[in-house]
Amino acid sequence: METHNLSCAICLDRFKVPVTIPCGHTFCRDCITTHWDTKSKCDIGPHCPICNEKFPTRPILKRNVSLSVLAEATANSAGAFGRDTVPVMRGDMARATHLILCDRHKKPLVYYCRKDNMCVCCECAISECKNHEKVLVEAEKENRELLLRRKSVEVGICMEKTERSIAELTENITKAKVTLQQTSHWVNAKFSMLLKVLAEKQESTENFIEQEKEASLSQGEARLEELQERAKQLGERQSQIATLRNLPDIQLIQESRLVEVPRMKDIPVDVTPNLQERLSGVTDVLSRISKLVSEDLEKAVSTAVGQDKQGSPQDKRPVLAVVPSPAAPCHPAGKEGLSEYRCTLTFDPRTANSHLLLCQENLRAEHLTSGPRPVPAHEARFDHTWQVLCFQGFKHGKHYWELELSKPWAYLGVTYEGIPRKEKGKRCMVGMNDLSWSLQLDERQLSAWHNGRRETVAGHSHHSRIGILLDYEAGTLTYYGDGHTRLHAFHCAFTQELFPACWIGEGVSITLCSP
């Protein structure tokens, strides 16, 4: 009889107390018992390691007497077969084509001892690691691969977060450049209106702006470089994990313990230059000086030469506007002076509140007295505020448009796109937040609104036609009444795209006048 027929398929040595299980295959009693104990910890029922036949309950193991006698009879010829020869294993023990042998027992390392953190052979498992927690090498490999997959997912999440941060920071740097450039132009425009005695202060202020711009952008770009370097490091760690997964089982188990997911601190991605806030004192002084020169001097000259016989409601306005800033440049009165800036507008039906009906190709908006009409839900729509925006927006240049009102109950102005649209209360109304500016017309008076702050405008409020002039670079929004009488001017350093907006009272209709 061949020697390997007297060898256990698990320990690969001659049978020690051979037992035969119901499928007919024979193993050492301790070997098959240890194998089933290990499998049961993984919720795997008893089965044959060779033919993989499953048993509903663990079979009772009885010694195979005949095979025991035969194994003992051939024990003296053991040297002829070679102690270090390892037969080919079958079943779930035959995955490895090249097995590593135990240094002491010259048997395959088939178990992993979790207490000793090392791979052991069957004999070590029985003699030295009998009471230790043991699993098959294949099971430990699967566990380590699962851990590596989890670490790979964590590294991937870090990479995705870093890439999002890079994109967000890049976008914020671009926005910061635009904001800083617009602020620089705005300050330049105001200084240009003053006398030559202010030239020295203008130069010093410009130097300050350049320093702030350089400091803000340098900080943002330094953070961007740091995030890019982090992304590179995470990519290298991901490659390291991928390399480990291709290693042999034992080496993978040993090397995987050295892989750690890097812990990195968060890098801010905001670029928020506070240039306008730091220049608030300068802009306040410029506002008062510029208004004194551009408006009060204009009035004095016009009165002296007799060109303003009727006067203007603007004459009685207080010196400061709702938003402190230099006054609007003087444009020639009448249609001839404003016609070159005329623009064509249409109402945006996606934004119109359900109480408002748009008609005449979206040139007319009417507040229905019959109640709300069914409208499709839209993220741009004002759900609770009787308001509508125009399709067209402005990010630069000068633009003039006129609106015709059926009666004075409305708020007319401009707003940034981010104005609240779904809230209840006045915060969504144009002029009642820091994103918009408006002129309120009612039966009693005119009022200018910004960020919920009100300034009363002198003069009568019954104007059937209102003209609005936006000068984006100069930062001015000027209102004209019937006959192009100047009513009011807002002053602000605009930083985003502006959209014309109308809040319309019940029973009121507003028409966008054609150029």
**CATH number of the domain encompassing residue 33:** 3.30.40.10
Structure tokens at 188: 């330049």
308 domain residue, yes or no? no
102 domain residue, yes or no? no
324 and 389 inside one domain: yes
Which DSSP string do the residues of 212-260 spell out, in sequence order?
Answer: HHHHHHHHHHHHHHHHHHHHHHHHHHHHHHHHHTTS-HHHHHHHHTT--
404 domain residue, yes or no? yes
Q: Strand pairing partners for 20?
A: 26
Report pLDDT for 59: 92
80 and 209 inside one domain: no
401 and 475 inside one domain: yes
Report pLDDT for 87: 40
35 and 161 inside one domain: no
Percent of the chain, pLDDT > 90? 43
**Contact residues for 386 (Cβ-Cβ < 8 A; gap 6+):** 353, 355, 356, 367, 503, 504, 505, 506
Q: Is 317 left (phi over 0), alpha (psi -120 to 50) or beta?
A: beta
Note every long-range contact of 67-70, with CB atoms under 8 Å and residues 24 or more positions apart, other chains counting.
67/6, 67/15, 67/18, 67/20, 67/26, 68/15, 68/17, 68/18, 70/1, 70/6
Report pLDDT for 75: 62
208 and 62 inside one domain: no
Note whether 513 and 402 are within 8 A (CB).
yes
**Residues spanned by the domain of 92:** 3-97+119-129
Q: pLDDT (tens digit, 0 to 9) for every residue of the chain, 515 residues total?
A: 445 567 888 888 888 889 999 998 999 999 999 999 888 888 888 999 888 899 999 999 988 877 877 777 666 444 433 444 344 344 444 443 356 888 888 888 888 999 999 999 888 888 888 889 988 888 889 899 999 999 999 999 999 999 999 999 999 999 989 888 888 887 787 666 665 667 787 888 888 888 888 888 888 888 899 899 889 988 988 888 888 888 888 888 888 888 888 888 888 888 766 776 778 777 777 776 776 776 666 776 677 666 544 443 333 333 333 333 333 344 544 555 788 999 999 999 999 999 999 999 999 999 999 999 999 999 999 999 999 999 999 999 999 999 999 999 999 999 999 999 999 999 999 999 999 999 999 988 999 999 999 999 988 878 999 999 999 998 899 999 986 789 999 988 898 999 999 999 999 999 999 88
346 and 365 inside one domain: yes
CB atoms within 10 A of CB 507: 12
Residue 368, CB-side half-sphere exposure with 13 Å CA sphere = 13
Report pLDDT for 68: 78
pLDDT in tens, 417-459: 999 999 999 999 999 999 999 999 998 899 999 999 999 998 8
187 and 270 inside one domain: yes
Report pLDDT for 405: 96
Domain end among 245, 278, 311: 278
Report pLDDT for 323: 38
162 and 124 inside one domain: no
Q: How many domains does the chain have?
A: 3
What's the rounded Cα separation, in Å, for the pair 251 and 492?
A: 68
434 and 353 inside one domain: yes
**CATH number of the domain encompassing residue 371:** 2.60.120.920
405 domain residue, yes or no? yes
**Residue type at 35 in one-letter notation:** H
CA 263 vs. chain centroid, Å, equals 21
106 domain residue, yes or no? no
Q: Are strands 498-504 and 410-416 parallel, antiparallel or unpaired?
A: antiparallel
Instruction: Identify which of 232, 506, 471 has the alpha carbon closest to the alpha carbon of residue 356.
Output: 506
What's the rounded Cα separation, in Å, for the pair 222 and 384?
A: 45
The burial of 42, by beta-carbon neighbours within 10 Å (0-12 exposed, 13-18 middle, 19 or more buried), is given as exposed
Report pLDDT for 182: 85
155 domain residue, yes or no? yes
Whole-Å CA distances, 355 to 334, 502, 504 = 35, 13, 10
Note whether 365 and 403 are within 8 A (CB).
no
296 domain residue, yes or no? no
| pLDDT, averaged across the chain | 83
Report pLDDT for 85: 39
pLDDT in tens, 114-155: 999 999 988 888 888 888 998 888 888 989 999 999 999 999
330 and 417 inside one domain: yes
**Contact residues for 376 (Cβ-Cβ < 8 A; gap 6+):** none
Report pLDDT for 91: 40
Structure tokens at 139: 């099971």
Report pLDDT for 393: 97
Domain end among 224, 257, 278: 278
Report pLDDT for 329: 42
pLDDT in tens, 147-161: 999 999 999 999 999
124 and 146 inside one domain: no
123 and 149 inside one domain: no
162 domain residue, yes or no? yes
Residue 78 sits at φ, ψ, to 5 deg, of: -65, -35
DSSP state of 58: P
Note whether 52 and 34 are within 8 A (CB).
no
Report pLDDT for 21: 94
Q: Is 191 left (phi over 0), alpha (psi -120 to 50) or beta?
A: alpha
